């Protein structure tokens, strides 16, 4: 078999191997949707839990202040109730009653607000507890998915290693000059150095190949490049016919 045709076949095989390497690397570097969804879900749940805990801390701070104010109002109310029994005239009595009413109203407001805060805190703490109790199951589900993904990445790493070895063996069989040209094109053309001719055009850039160039590609006695994208051209049926 002509050495050029043989090298073209080797380059096609190499291209296939490099395509598979690129696909494996792309898959390895891109987390699957189920992993991304779990990560997003975990981040959302973590933020929600942090928000709930922040609300609890804020309400507890307010509750502390309300309880202090309630205690102060109780002391103040007791003080004025004692004063009521010590008044000596109607003016003093009216003033004390007014203070008692004010302290009573303030105390009732504190008691009401304390009840609201304690109720809200109870609900929030119950929700936080429920979320925390659910986390082990969520984390286990997450771990299983992540473990499967990590195992898949190890498999892909082994696949890339095996494919790289295949590429190295194929490169050894290539004419050094052809190998250098193939490697340059691989780097400059986005990982694609060879292109089949389809219906008279380069199948990758779709540039029409002149008839006499098509004939030279068909003979396979030299490497012919696309005049537009400069990739090495080949005609599939010509190379396949040589194997029959």
Task: Decide which of 2.30.30.170, 1.10.645.10, 1.10.287.1490, 3.40.50.1450 is the CATH code for 3-21+175-243.
Answer: 1.10.287.1490
Q: How far is CA 105 from CA 65, 94, 182, 183, in A?
A: 17, 17, 90, 88
Identify the architecture of domain 31-172 in CATH.
Orthogonal Bundle (1.10)
Among 214, 186, 188, residue whose Cα is nearest residue 200:
214
Q: What would the pLDDT profile of 72-114 be if each residue is shown by its tens digit?
A: 999 999 998 998 888 888 888 999 899 999 999 999 999 999 9
Among 58, 59, 18, residue whose Cα is nearest residue 185:
18
Q: What would the pLDDT profile of 26-63 be if each residue is shown by its tens digit?
A: 999 998 888 888 888 888 888 999 999 999 999 999 99
Q: Are 84 and 93 in contact (CB under 8 A)?
A: yes
What is the rounded average pLDDT of the residues 125-136?
A: 87
For the chain, residues classed under CATH 1.10.287.1490 are 3-21+175-243
CB atoms under 10 Å from CB of 123, counted, come to 10
H runs (alpha helix) in the chain: 3-28, 33-84, 90-173, 176-188, 211-219, 236-243
Check residue 1 and give its pLDDT.
46
Share of the chain above pLDDT 90, in %: 74
Tell me the pairing of strands 232-234 and 201-202.
Answer: unpaired
What's 168-214 look like in SS3?
A: HHHHHHCCHHHHHHHHHHHHHCCCCCEEEEECCEECCCCCECCHHHH
Question: Is 225 in a helix, a strand, or coil?
Answer: strand
Check residue 242 and give its pLDDT.
57
Is the pLDDT reported for residue 150 higher than 50? yes
| 231 secondary structure, DSSP code | P
Check residue 244 and give its pLDDT.
47
């Amino acid at each position: 078999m002509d050495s050029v045709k043989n090298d073209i076949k080797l380059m096609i095989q190499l291209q296939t191997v490099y395509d598979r390497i690129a696909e494996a690397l792309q898959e390895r570097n891109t987390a699957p949707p189920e992993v991304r969804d779990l990560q997003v879900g975990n981040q959302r749940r973590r933020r929600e839990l942090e928000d709930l805990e922040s609300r609890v801390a804020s309400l507890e701070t307010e509750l502390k202040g309300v309880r202090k104010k309630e205690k102060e109002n109780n002391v103040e109310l007791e003080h004025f109730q004692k004063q009521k029994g010590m008044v000596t005239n109607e003016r003093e009595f009216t003033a004390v009653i007014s203070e008692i009413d004010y302290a009573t109203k303030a105390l009732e407001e504190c008691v009401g607000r304390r009840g609201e805060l304690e109720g809200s805190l109870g609900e929030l703490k119950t929700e936080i507890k429920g979320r925390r109790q659910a986390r082990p199951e969520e984390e286990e589900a997450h771990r299983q998915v992540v473990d499967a993904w990590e195992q898949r990445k190890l498999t892909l790493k082994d696949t890339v290693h095996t494919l790289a070895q295949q590429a190295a063996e194929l490169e050894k069989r290539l004419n050094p000059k052809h190998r250098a040209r193939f490697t340059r094109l691989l780097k400059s053309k986005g990982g694609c150095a060879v292109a089949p001719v389809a219906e008279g055009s380069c199948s990758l850039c779709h540039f029409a190949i002149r008839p006499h160039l098509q004939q030279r590609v068909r003979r396979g006695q030299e490497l012919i490049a696309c005049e537009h994208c400069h990739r090495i051209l080949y005609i599939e049926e010509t190379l396949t016919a040589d194997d029959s």
